[in-house]
């Protein structure tokens, strides 16, 4: 298997992603998200890709979480996908923008009711005295919304990574892997191959 040299890395990503969806039984959309504090302390965690387009790569989270705070203060991020079954990696770097309210509302409404209540109940990334505290909050918000609509919390939304670079990596024999790096250049993309 080789990396196809397309002029459009998003089209290339979509092709690889479709193959990952067919090959990976669990969460082919899982990606590592790296963020950084303004004073240069990096952190990384997994999130789920919920949309990809020419505009960028979108995920959703609690805006008051560690990642949310870091992105608010330093809107730069890196993403990394690894699809074991295909021996492929895609690494993305770029700036980050907020998903608009209409798009976030639409995505939030598509989640299960319990996931929507969970978003209200979780003070993501902040200390908790014990599991019971979380369960109590889930019960409180379940009672609060009763059978009515569960709106999107103001502190819960999406971020879109607008890519500056996208690198495709395909494993090859003897560690002579193939790497193709796309770098944004004006309206298009510059393409280079890199030593493995």
Q: How far is the CB of 8 from ligand FMN (least distance, A)?
A: 26
30 binds ligand FMN per the rule CB under 6 A: yes
66 lies in the site for ligand FMN, by CB under 6 A: yes
Q: Site for ligand FMN (CB under 6 A): which residue of 28, 57, 61, 182? A: 61
Let me know how long the chain is: 196
What are the start-end ranges of the H helices in 24-99? 66-73
Question: In the Cβ-directed half-sphere of 169, how many Cα atoms lie within 13 Å?
Answer: 19
46 binding ligand FMN? (CB under 6 A): yes
Distance CA 11, CA 14 (A): 5
Pairwise CA distance, residues 33 & 59, whole Å? 10
- Closer CB to ligand FMN, residue 122 or residue 170? 122
Question: Shortest gap between Cβ of 27 and ligand FMN (angstroms)?
Answer: 5
In angstroms, the Cα distances linking 75 to 79, 107, 152, 176 are 13, 22, 23, 34
Q: How far apart are CA 81 and CA 89, in angstroms?
A: 5
Least separation in angstroms between CB 190 and ligand FMN: 31
From the list 111, 175, 179, 184, the catalytic residue is 175
Residues forming the active site? 175
- Give residues in contact with ligand FMN (CB under 6 A): 27, 30, 43, 45-48, 59-62, 65-67, 124-125
């Amino acid at each position: 298997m080789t990396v196809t040299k397309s002029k459009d890395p998003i089209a290339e990503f979509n092709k690889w992603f479709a193959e990952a969806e067919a090959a990976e039984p669990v969460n082919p959309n899982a990606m590592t998200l790296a963020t950084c504090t303004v004073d240069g302390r990096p952190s990384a965690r997994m999130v789920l890709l919920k949309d990809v387009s020419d505009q960028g790569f979108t995920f959703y989270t609690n805006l008051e979480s560690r990642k949310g705070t870091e992105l608010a203060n330093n809107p730069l991020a890196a993403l990394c996908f690894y699809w074991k079954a295909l021996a492929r990696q895609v690494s993305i770097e770029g700036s980050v923008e907020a998903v608009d309210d209409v798009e976030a509302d639409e995505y939030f409404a598509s989640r299960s009711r319990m996931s929507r209540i969970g978003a209200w109940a979780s003070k993501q990334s902040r200390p908790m005295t014990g599991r019971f505290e979380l369960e109590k909050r889930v019960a409180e918000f379940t009672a609060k919304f009763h059978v009515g609509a569960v709106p999107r919390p103001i502190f819960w939304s999406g971020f879109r990574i607008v890519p500056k670079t996208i690198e495709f990596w395909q494993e090859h024999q003897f560690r002579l892997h193939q790497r193709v790096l796309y770098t944004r250049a004006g309206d298009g993309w510059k393409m280079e191959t890199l030593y493995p």
